[in-house]
Chain A
């Protein structure tokens, strides 16, 4: 079974620039998650999709972060404009349904200069 695919693996941008991350979940997984993992901390959920609908975005900084999963399969997460504190690894995960174990991608390491 192919795993969760994410791209790019690394991204370096200057503050106030925009950036987008892409995620393709495991085939058949209805639930997709985006996490932010700051160095030295555990992953923190940003947004959770069930198919193409948002079920939890309570911790997403909506003034600068946005995410979509238009066709219920792959997803993009965007930051516009980026701040220094956004430097982190952004992880995508998927599960068959919301209460089942999540499978994680390799993540995108974002550095803000």
Chain B
């Protein structure tokens, strides 16, 4: 079965610093990839998704992610973080190994941005 690994559990950055959060999934084939964000006290929200096409995907709030098939990776990036980006970030892959697609989440990365 598919699995997702997020390399960083807790990241602390100052405002205006650049961000890159790592995400790897376990095996290839057709993959649908997602990044979700959970701001404090709020529900999980979709940040961006990759289904096919251009491997560089742009999402909301200036975030982007790059799908690199050869590395089984889907890293999240933002050139300049803001205090309001403080949140928990989850990478997820849609696993088609069963009869239906199942969303498999990584363990999450907590991002703390210092003003």
Contacts and interface: CB of A to CB of B under 8 A. Distances in A.
Interface residues of B, number: 25
The range of chain A's interface size is 20 to 34
A45 B100 contact: no
B106 interface: yes
Nearest to A37: B105
A25 interface: no
B107 A58 contact: no
Contacts, number: 55
A98 B94 CA distance: 9
Interface stretch (A66-74, A79-87, A103-111): A103-111
B43 A107 contact: yes
B43 A106 contact: yes
Interface of A: 3-4, 33, 40-45, 48, 50, 55-56, 58, 91, 93, 98-99, 101-107
Given A45-B104, A50-B100, 16 more contacts: A4-B43, A40-B108, A41-B107, A41-B108, A42-B4, A42-B105, A42-B106, A43-B90, A45-B102, A56-B98, A56-B102, A91-B43, A99-B32, A102-B103, A104-B43, A104-B44
